[in-house]
Structure 1
Amino acid sequence: MPEICIGLKRHPDSFAKGAEVGDRLEADICVGRSTMLTLGPQPFVAEFSICPSGVPITLTPAFKNSSGGAAMTTKAHWETVYQTKKVDEVSWYRPHLETSLRLIEHAAPGTDSAVIDVGGGEATLVDDLVALGYADVTVLDISPAAIDVAKGRLGASGASVHWITGDITTVELEAARYHVWHDRAVFHFLTSADDRAAYMRQVARAVRLGGHVIVATFGLGGPEKCSGLDVVRYDAENLHGEFGPKFRLLENVTELHETPWGTPQEFLYCFCRVE
C-alpha cells in the first residue's frame, strides 16, 4: 500500500483530533472513488484524484452529530458500501425480486402505471420492470454511485427511467405522482420515530388515492444489523401499524431470502392500498 501525505483542510465539524496537515498514513487507493480512512482517532471519507504533484486528498467527516458522537452520515455510509462492493456482494442482492414483481404486477397490471422504487440503487427490479414494458419507472437512492451502476447496466434500455438521488426522508417528491410505491430494505434502517414519520409523510403525499404501497423489511427472524447499521425488525401487525388507517392492508408476505453467501434472512412484505 502506498504512503500518502495528507493535505488536510480543517472543517468546523471535524472530529479528527490530532490530525495535522502533512500527516502520513497508509491506505488502499481507488482513484476517483471514496474510501474510509482513519486519521487520528476518527474515520474520514476521502476522495482521491491524480495530479502531477501526487495524490491530493479532500477529507470530509464521516462522523458527525450535534453531541459529537460517532454517527456516520447516511450518504457517506452508502457511498462507501456501493463503491467498495460489487452488486452481488451485498446481503440483500437477489438476481430477480420475484415477490416484489408479483405484487407490483398485481397492483399495476397496466404498464403505463407510475412506479417508484425507493432505495432501488443497484437492484435489478428496474431492469425487470423495463423488460415487462413499464414505461414510467422512477428509481430513488441516496447513493449516486448506486444509481450510476444501474444506469450503466441498463444502457439505452433505461432511457425512459427517471433517476432521483436523495434521502427519502427529505427529498421533494411530486404530489400524487405514483400508482405504486416499492421499498425493499430501506424502511427498516429508519430507527428513529422522526425519520419514520417523515417517510410516512412522503408516502402519503406521493402516492395517489387508490394507489398501492409495497414495503419489505426484516421480519422478527431477520438480523438485528445490516451493512453495519442497526435496523428495526417487524412483525405483520407492527409494520402495517406504522402506516395507519389510510393504508388498507391487502396482503402480508414472508420471504426467506438467501444472501449471496448462503445465510437465510427473513423479509416481511406489507402490501397496502391508499384509501
Structure 2
Amino acid sequence: MKKCTIIYNPVSGKKDFDQHLNYVTRRLEEHEYSVKLYATERPKHAISLTKQACKEEVDLLLISGGDGTMHECLNGIAHSTFQPIIGYIPSGTACDLASTLKIPKDVELAMDIILNHGQVVKMDYTNTNKGSFIYVTAIGTYVDISYVTDSKLKKYLGYLAYIITGIKEFFTIPMIKTKIEHDNGFLRGYYSLILVVNSKKVAGFNIVSHPVLDDGKVDVVVYKYIPLLNNLLYFISFILSPKVLPGVTKFRTSKLKIYTDHPHKWNMDGEEADGGNLNIQVQKQALKIIVDPSIVNKYFKEQE
C-alpha cells in the first residue's frame, strides 16, 4: 500500500479539523493509502513530525492548518533528503498560500483536489539564514499581526481579528534603515515595509499581480518611509494595486541580501523569526505540491 502521513494543527482557525478526521482517513484508505495521523502539540512540532515522515519516505504528506503549519512542515522538508508530495487542507484563519493555489477550506473539496483531479507541480521555496519560507517574508509595518493577534479572537472573528489588531498599529510606522543587494544592483534608504513574496496574496491582499511560482525568483516589494503618508501608500498599493506607484519599488531576483540593524523581527509565512540581516537563496522547483489545475498554466510557467 501507499503511505500517507497526516500532520494537522488542532488549534488552527476554528479548531474543528478533528471533526473531519474519519472522513479524510476513509477517503485515503479508499485510495489504497495506509495512514498515520499526528496532531501538533507545541510550536515547531510539525518540523520534527515532517522530518520523520521524510525518513519514512511517505508517498503523500497531507498537511492541515494555516500558513504557519505549512511553514513548519516546509522547514522539516528543507532539512531532509527525501521530498514527499504535499497535499494541503487549509484550516487556518487567512491561508494566503491556499488562496493563491486555489485550494478551498472545504474539506471535501480539498480532498477531491488531493485524490482526484489535482495536479502535482514543482514549486519554488526559499532558504534564508533564519530558516526557509514558502510564500512570504517581511519586515516593517503590520507584519507581526498574524502572531500577535489573540487566538480566541481569531476563532470567533476570523479575518476581522487581524483588522482589529492592524488598527492598533496604525500609528506606529517604523523607519528602517536598509541596504538591499539583488541580482541586478542594490537599493539603500529608509523604508517602512519590505516584502519578499512567492505568492499572489499576502494578508488577504493581492500583492503581486502576476506571480510566477516556479522560476527560481521571488518578488520584492519595498515601501519607502514617507512621514504622514505611509498608510496612504499602503492603501493605494494593497487596495487599488496600480502597476506603478511613487515610493514603491518592485523587482524580481533569485538572490537577495538585506542589511538592517532595526530591532523589528522578520515575519516568515506568518511566523516570527529573528531580526537583523537576511540572506536569501531561492530553491527552484524544490517543493512538490498538489494544486488546482486551473492555476497551473497561470502561475507555473517553467515546469520541467
Same-fold call, TM > 0.5?
Answer: no
TM-score in terms of structure 2 length: 0.28
TM-score in terms of structure 1 length: 0.30
Which has a greater percent of helix?
A: 2
